Amino acid sequence: MATVPRPVLLQSLWVFLLLCFAYCDIVTVMDTDPRSVDAVADMTGPLLLLASVWMTMGIAMTLFSRVLRRRVGRPLGIVVASAMLLAQIGTLFVPPLQAYYVFFSVVEVAAMVALIVFAWTWPADQPEHAG
């Protein structure tokens, strides 16, 4: 089995993570529990803008993890994944918690931990970028 270049692996993990985020949001919209509906309805324009900026960090990492050199991409990936990891764990303390949300959170936390570990252990002798 061929070794996957680290930038390609990191980019793939970011895409996987973003798809999990997106599908969890889609399921949340389909959730008919009044508590969940109220929580989504309470999101105001400024909060939605903040969430948009926050998610753009992960979206940008799908590009940056592939094209930035190791000395920049590695610490940037660790910082962004760590920040998003802490935020995701924090959301688990905001009611109401639905089973689907906990499931997606566990998958997302695992993906972010993998991103941090793979960025941290990016061998110096691997290609700087896959672009």
What is the Cα–Cα distance from 66 to 8, expressed in whole angstroms? 6
| Residue 29 pLDDT grade (very low, low, confident, very high; cuts 50, 70, 90) | confident
The pLDDT of residue 75: 96
- CA-to-CA distance for 116 and 114, rounded, in angstroms? 5
Could you tell me how far CA 92 lies from the centroid of its own chain?
Answer: 15
pLDDT at residue 28, as a whole number: 85
Summarize pLDDT for 56-110 with one digit per residue, the tens. Answer: 999 999 999 999 999 999 999 999 999 999 999 999 998 888 999 999 999 999 9
Instruction: Work out the angle at residue 122's Cα, subtended by the Cα atoms of residues 116 and 123, and round it to the nearest 5 degrees.
Output: 160
One-letter amino acid of 114: A
**What span, in angstroms and rounded, lies between the C-alpha atoms of 60 and 69?**
15
- Structural domain boundaries in the chain: 6-120
Q: Could you report the per-residue pLDDT of 41-53, keeping only the tens digit for each?
A: 677 888 889 989 9
